[in-house]
Chains A and B, each alone.
Chain A
């Protein structure tokens, strides 16, 4: 039985990027209703709050609550930003909406903007989404022509202008404050909080940043009510969610799945299991930056925020990466480390230096020339990186790699010991050998690395205060040397 698309059914309607087709299927009806029936902004927020819609970008923050944080009665202009900078490896759910159903997104954005009083909205697109950008641009033009956007919409006195902006290819601009910085024309680097964007965001004005999927779900919730949306999902995470499934799986693609759906059923019946009849080895359920799951954990959990956390991972953005038994986890870790090393913005110290260091150490393992004690050192360095930065990019490299090293230790041990992969029998990074280079560590050179636990200097000792009995005896030194 194929899964039915309830909220994002528009994706499957051919020609739905045209406003006529979209209107035929009930499009912009809700936006019209909201304005013409004089639905109050507070009512809209209440409906969304009651529906329990949570942010689909990764953090899962309740959307209605986010809108209600915007201060009321300020003179400052308010902004709605749509985060369409979908760059997470393994995630491609927003692209479907942007390319095949942009009008539903625009309608959702219009309702959201009305709810907290924004008069300007931006769609921040990933620069590589050229087709999606064209579709959204065309859709905005059509909507403005039809009078759904612009000044004094349907005589209600509400103005809304919508613009698109294409990013320049930085993963970090998917983080909401970095997105705001980038949209302001600055270097895309996350800001410290507080102040939160709802208070001081885009050009220091109240701003809400929402994911594409979150905003696109709003029209259907307004149309059918909160109870309708709550018929799917669990108490804490109601509704449906788009999952993008890729990797070694029989039927990859984008699926709309009610939250709380059993993962085993989804994997075996809807996805058809691993491809070529192979065995499942590991899964990253939330788009490369969350903990890796073993098959036991994966098949035992349900597809909602809480259950996945219970089973040792996070839902994230819903980009599921399936790995079969032919996957070498060391290689996978190296690929992930390469990505995050390349995408670190260079602001916070632990992430700027740590991502590169972790990447180099794992590459060394794959080159067959790890430094002694590399595994302990990797764990140490990743502990130092975890949770100490402004944005979660530093955590994003730590979570998948650390969980891989914990859950598949024998593969890492084999690679370190033998210099080749336990699965493929090859040394993938052999061309990165460092033997010939000067000034770098060479294999076999004896060196004992102090582990952090065994590190003798405790936190209250200052290194330069050497106790007197440990000072070298200078009189003896002079005597010997005449």
Chain B
């Protein structure tokens, strides 16, 4: 059991875990973009840089294994400056369209932008733009908002089993996309929307129809679903505006839901409300239509 100190807090963790894991255990917040617990760490967003005493360079928390006696600083001037630099680089090409972006309100880029971003942009050149190409009828792709975290690439390769999404070109011209601009041929393609930390992949059905902070989130499942999906309904004035997978406190999906649940069932009669958003237990189901009476 290596014991280490993170921001002055001593912690003992099992062997083989990462600094990020240890930090989350003691409640130290480290920002992440490309890190997703479902996949092996990729380490390319560089926002989770932390200072490990005794090592010259800043290290990424998501891939640095813990060692006994490590002393880690996640919140000093040097780390802040490095993260501010990464935020600045992410934002120089990012469009200022938060007011019309469906992700606004639950966007990692917004959250960390508040925390680490510059108050003004220093970039005075033309922004990089891409022609608009969607993934089929259901998923809207806005490449200009993409931060190249490659979560969607990894989800489609590792979980959906279709390597239809890839990285085209290189350098600052690189684009995430399907080469033939086609839909992702999977019954679970809608989960790409949930893994995207920014507004690059959004639900076409919900587009421009509601703001996420207005929605009331209700855990529900559909008895007819052959996959047994545990979904989260976004309700506004008793109407379903969107269906998503259930997310935990780090906005990580607890399980995937099928495209049938996500896109096709906007009628409350189809759903059964669950008592809590735990995906493993269901207690006392009630029909969604009875919810207001109960």
Chain A residues close to B by CB (< 8 Å): 170, 187, 192, 194, 341-350, 352-357, 360, 364, 371, 377, 380, 383-385, 387-390, 434, 437, 439-441, 447, 449-450, 452, 455, 457, 459-460, 462-464
Contact = CB atoms under 8 A, between A and B. Distances in A.
Given A342-B171, A384-B86, A384-B89, 8 more contacts: A192-B41, A192-B60, A192-B63, A348-B45, A352-B89, A371-B124, A434-B125, A459-B80
B76 interface: yes
Interface in B74-93: 75-77, 79-82, 84-86, 88-90, 92-93
Interface in B12-65: 41-47, 49, 56-58, 60, 63, 65
B82 A388 contact: yes
A387 B172 CA distance: 19
18 contacts: A187-B167, A346-B148, A346-B170, A346-B172, A346-B173, A349-B148, A350-B86, A352-B148, A352-B174, A355-B172, A357-B125, A388-B58, A390-B43, A390-B44, A434-B125, A439-B126, A450-B119, A459-B79
B70 to A, nearest CB: 15
A152 B246 CA distance: 59
B115 interface: yes
B170 A344 contact: yes
**Chain A interface SS verdict (over half):** loop
A350 B57 CA distance: 15
B63 A194 contact: yes
B170 A459 contact: no
Contacts of A439: 126
A22 B104 CA distance: 69
A462 B29 CA distance: 14
B63 to A, nearest CB: 5
A354 B89 CA distance: 7
Interface of B: 41-47, 49, 56-58, 60, 63, 65, 75-77, 79-82, 84-86, 88-90, 92-93, 114-115, 117-120, 122-126, 128, 147-148, 166-167, 169-174
Contacts of A345: 170-171, 174
Contact of B171 (A352, A380, A434, A440): A352
A383 B58 CA distance: 13
Contact of B124 (A194, A387, A441, A459): A441
Q: Taking each of A355, A377, A390, which has the highest tally of chain B beta carbons within 10 Å of its own beta carbon?
A: A390
Contact of A350 (B65, B85, B124): B85
A176 B176 CA distance: 24
A452 B116 CA distance: 13
A371 B147 CA distance: 26
B125 A455 contact: no
Contacts of B57: 387-388
B167 A441 contact: no
Contacts of A459: 75-77, 79-81
B126 A388 contact: no
B90 A349 contact: yes
Nearest to B89: A353
Nearest to B41: A192
B119 A463 contact: yes
A357 B45 CA distance: 17
B32 to A, nearest CB: 13
A194 B81 CA distance: 25
